[in-house]
Amino acid sequence: MLERIVTGAHYGLRDWLIQRVTAVVMVLYTLSLAGYWLFQPVMDYNAWTLFFSSNFVRTFSLLFLLSVFYHAWIGVRDIVMDYIKPAFIRLLLHVLVILALLLYVIWSVQILWGI
Residues that bind another protein (CB under 8 A): 20, 23-24, 27, 30, 45, 48-49, 52, 68-69, 72, 75-76, 79, 100, 104, 107-108, 111, 114-115
CB of 113 to another protein, least distance (A): 11
Cα gap 114→45, rounded to integer Å: 16
22 class by beta-carbon count within 10 Å (0-12 exposed, 13-18 middle, 19+ buried) = buried
- If the CB atoms of residues 6 and 83 are measured against another protein, the closer one turns out to be 83
Residues 6+ apart with CB under 8 A from 40: 47
Largest CA distance in the chain: 70
CB of 45 to another protein, least distance (A): 5
- If the CB atoms of residues 6 and 55 are measured against another protein, the closer one turns out to be 55
